[in-house]
Protein backbone atom coordinates (compact mmCIF):
# COMPACT_ATOMS: atom_id res chain seq x y z
CA UNK A 1 0.00 0.00 0.00
CA UNK A 2 2.88 2.34 0.62
CA UNK A 3 5.19 1.38 -2.24
CA UNK A 4 5.06 4.76 -3.92
CA UNK A 5 5.27 6.68 -0.68
CA UNK A 6 8.59 8.06 0.50
CA UNK A 7 9.52 8.32 4.13
CA UNK A 8 9.64 12.07 4.15
CA UNK A 9 6.25 12.25 2.45
CA UNK A 10 4.87 9.91 5.11
CA UNK A 11 6.34 12.13 7.80
CA UNK A 12 4.76 15.24 6.32
CA UNK A 13 1.39 13.55 6.08
CA UNK A 14 1.75 12.53 9.71
CA UNK A 15 2.50 16.01 11.01
CA UNK A 16 0.06 17.79 8.72
CA UNK A 17 -2.77 15.37 9.36
CA UNK A 18 -2.24 15.34 13.09
CA UNK A 19 -2.48 19.11 13.26
CA UNK A 20 -5.57 19.01 11.08
CA UNK A 21 -7.42 16.52 13.28
CA UNK A 22 -6.24 18.18 16.46
CA UNK A 23 -7.70 21.48 15.29
CA UNK A 24 -11.04 19.81 14.54
CA UNK A 25 -11.03 18.15 17.95
CA UNK A 26 -10.34 21.43 19.70
CA UNK A 27 -13.06 23.19 17.72
CA UNK A 28 -15.62 20.50 18.55
CA UNK A 29 -14.54 20.56 22.19
CA UNK A 30 -15.13 24.30 22.34
CA UNK A 31 -18.54 23.81 20.79
CA UNK A 32 -19.38 20.97 23.18
CA UNK A 33 -18.31 23.11 26.11
CA UNK A 34 -20.85 25.71 25.09
CA UNK A 35 -23.51 23.05 24.51
CA UNK A 36 -22.97 21.61 27.98
CA UNK A 37 -23.20 25.01 29.61
CA UNK A 38 -26.20 26.18 27.62
CA UNK A 39 -28.21 23.10 26.68
CA UNK A 40 -27.47 19.92 28.53
CA UNK A 41 -26.70 20.90 32.10
CA UNK A 42 -28.37 23.20 34.57
CA UNK A 43 -25.46 25.54 35.25
CA UNK A 44 -27.56 27.86 37.38
CA UNK A 45 -28.48 24.81 39.47
CA UNK A 46 -24.89 24.17 40.53
CA UNK A 47 -25.43 25.44 44.04
CA UNK A 48 -22.75 25.39 46.74
CA UNK A 49 -24.48 22.22 47.89
CA UNK A 50 -24.02 20.48 44.53
CA UNK A 51 -20.42 21.60 44.46
CA UNK A 52 -19.80 20.33 47.97
CA UNK A 53 -21.59 17.09 47.13
CA UNK A 54 -19.21 16.49 44.28
CA UNK A 55 -16.29 17.09 46.60
CA UNK A 56 -17.65 14.57 49.14
CA UNK A 57 -18.20 12.11 46.31
CA UNK A 58 -14.56 12.53 45.32
CA UNK A 59 -13.13 12.55 48.85
CA UNK A 60 -14.47 9.05 49.45
CA UNK A 61 -13.75 7.82 45.92
CA UNK A 62 -17.23 6.41 45.47
CA UNK A 63 -16.28 6.14 41.76
CA UNK A 64 -14.08 3.12 42.44
CA UNK A 65 -17.14 1.01 43.25
CA UNK A 66 -19.93 2.80 41.42
CA UNK A 67 -20.44 4.15 37.93
CA UNK A 68 -21.84 7.62 37.38
CA UNK A 69 -23.18 8.25 33.89
CA UNK A 70 -21.73 4.85 33.07
CA UNK A 71 -18.14 5.61 34.01
CA UNK A 72 -16.23 4.30 36.99
CA UNK A 73 -16.18 0.84 38.52
CA UNK A 74 -18.60 -1.99 37.87
CA UNK A 75 -18.92 -3.30 41.41
CA UNK A 76 -21.94 -1.30 42.54
CA UNK A 77 -25.07 0.34 41.08
CA UNK A 78 -25.11 3.26 38.66
CA UNK A 79 -25.73 6.48 40.60
CA UNK A 80 -26.29 9.00 37.78
CA UNK A 81 -29.99 8.16 38.00
CA UNK A 82 -30.22 7.17 41.66
CA UNK A 83 -32.46 10.19 42.22
CA UNK A 84 -34.96 8.81 39.74
CA UNK A 85 -34.65 5.31 41.18
CA UNK A 86 -35.65 6.65 44.57
CA UNK A 87 -38.60 8.44 42.98
CA UNK A 88 -37.08 11.87 43.51
CA UNK A 89 -38.88 13.45 40.57
CA UNK A 90 -42.23 12.47 42.12
CA UNK A 91 -41.53 12.87 45.81
CA UNK A 92 -38.33 14.75 46.55
CA UNK A 93 -38.46 14.57 50.34
CA UNK A 94 -38.92 10.82 50.53
CA UNK A 95 -36.12 10.29 48.02
CA UNK A 96 -33.78 12.57 49.91
CA UNK A 97 -34.42 10.77 53.19
CA UNK A 98 -34.21 7.41 51.47
CA UNK A 99 -30.78 8.04 50.01
CA UNK A 100 -29.45 9.56 53.21
CA UNK A 101 -30.77 6.67 55.28
CA UNK A 102 -29.26 4.21 52.88
CA UNK A 103 -25.80 5.72 53.17
CA UNK A 104 -26.08 6.01 56.96
CA UNK A 105 -27.11 2.41 57.40
CA UNK A 106 -24.15 0.86 55.56
CA UNK A 107 -22.66 -1.68 55.75
CA UNK A 108 -25.44 -4.23 55.59
CA UNK A 109 -23.04 -6.96 56.64
CA UNK A 110 -25.24 -9.44 54.85
CA UNK A 111 -23.12 -12.53 54.24
CA UNK A 112 -22.30 -13.03 50.54
CA UNK A 113 -23.66 -9.63 49.49
CA UNK A 114 -21.42 -6.87 48.16
CA UNK A 115 -20.73 -4.34 50.85
CA UNK A 116 -20.65 -0.59 50.87
CA UNK A 117 -18.49 0.70 53.72
CA UNK A 118 -19.52 3.04 56.50
CA UNK A 119 -18.41 6.60 55.76
CA UNK A 120 -17.91 9.45 58.21
CA UNK A 121 -20.27 11.87 56.49
CA UNK A 122 -22.16 14.44 58.53
CA UNK A 123 -25.74 15.51 58.02
CA UNK A 124 -24.89 18.58 56.00
CA UNK A 125 -22.53 16.66 53.73
CA UNK A 126 -25.19 14.01 53.21
CA UNK A 127 -27.58 16.68 52.02
CA UNK A 128 -24.90 18.00 49.72
CA UNK A 129 -24.38 14.53 48.26
CA UNK A 130 -28.07 14.24 47.57
CA UNK A 131 -28.05 17.70 45.97
CA UNK A 132 -25.29 16.44 43.73
CA UNK A 133 -27.14 13.26 42.74
CA UNK A 134 -30.27 15.24 42.09
CA UNK A 135 -28.41 17.71 39.89
CA UNK A 136 -26.59 14.97 37.96
CA UNK A 137 -29.89 13.30 37.22
CA UNK A 138 -31.00 16.41 35.33
CA UNK A 139 -28.15 16.25 32.81
CA UNK A 140 -29.47 15.62 29.31
CA UNK A 141 -27.67 12.41 28.41
CA UNK A 142 -29.33 11.47 25.11
CA UNK A 143 -31.69 9.36 27.23
CA UNK A 144 -29.08 7.15 28.79
CA UNK A 145 -29.47 4.90 30.82
CA UNK A 146 -32.07 2.81 28.97
CA UNK A 147 -34.12 2.17 32.12
CA UNK A 148 -34.29 3.00 35.78
CA UNK A 149 -32.09 0.01 36.75
CA UNK A 150 -29.17 2.10 35.45
Partner 1 sequence: MKYETQKLAYPYFLAAMGLFVAQVLGGLLAGTVYIFPNLLAEAVPFNVIRMIHTNALIVWLLFGFFGAAYYLVPEETETEIHSPLIAKLQFWLFLFGAAAAVLGYLFGIHEGREFLEQPLWIKVAIVVVALMFLFNISMTLLKGRKTAVSLILVMGLWGLALFFLFAFYNPSNLALDKMFWWYVVHLWVEGVWELIMAAILAFLLIKMTGIDREIVEKWLYVIVSMTLFTGLLGMGHHYFWIGTPGYWQWIGSIFSTLEVLPFFAIVVFAFMVVRKGGRDHPNQAAMLWTLGCAVLAFFGAGVWGFMHTLAPINYLTHGTQVTAAHGHLAFFGAYVMVNLAIITYAMPHLRGMQPYNQVLNMWSFWIMSSGMVFMTLTLTAAGILQTHLQRVMGISFMEVADEIGFFFILRGLSGVVVVIGVLLFVYATLSTDKAQVRVGGMKPQAAE
Cβ atoms of 79 and 133 closer than 8 Å: yes
Paired with 66 in beta bridges are 76
Size of the site for partner 1 (CB under 8 A): 74
Burial of 60 (0-12, 13-18, 19+ CB in 10 A): middle
Part of the chain binding partner 1 (CB under 8 A), chosen from 1-9, 89-97, 121-129: 1-9
Map the footprint of ligand HEM across residues 38-77, applying CB under 6 A. 70-71, 73-75
For position 70 contacting partner 1 by CB under 8 A, the verdict is yes
- Does 122 help bind partner 1 (rule: CB under 8 A)? no
The distance from CA 65 to its chain's CA centroid, rounded to whole angstroms, is: 13
Q: In whole angstroms, give the CA distance from residue 139 to residue 36.
A: 9
DSSP state for residue 61 in the 8-state scheme = T
| 31 sits near partner 1 (criterion: CB under 8 A) | yes
What distance, in Å, lies between the first and last C-alpha atoms of the chain? 46
d(C-alpha 122, C-alpha 126), whole Å: 6
From 95, 116, 128, 136, residue interacting with ligand HEC (rule: CB under 6 A)? 116
The footprint of partner 1 on residues 39-68 (CB under 8 A) is 39-41, 43, 46, 50-51, 54, 57-65, 67-68
The contact set with ligand HEM (CB under 6 A) reads: 70-71, 73-75
The contact set with ligand HEC (CB under 6 A) reads: 57, 60, 62, 65-66, 75-77, 79, 82, 85, 99, 102-103, 108, 113-114, 116-117, 119, 129
Amino acid sequence: MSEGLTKSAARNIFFGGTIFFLVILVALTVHSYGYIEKNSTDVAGITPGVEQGKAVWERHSCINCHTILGEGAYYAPELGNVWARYGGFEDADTARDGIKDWIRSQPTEVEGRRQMPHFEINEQELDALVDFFKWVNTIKTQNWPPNVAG
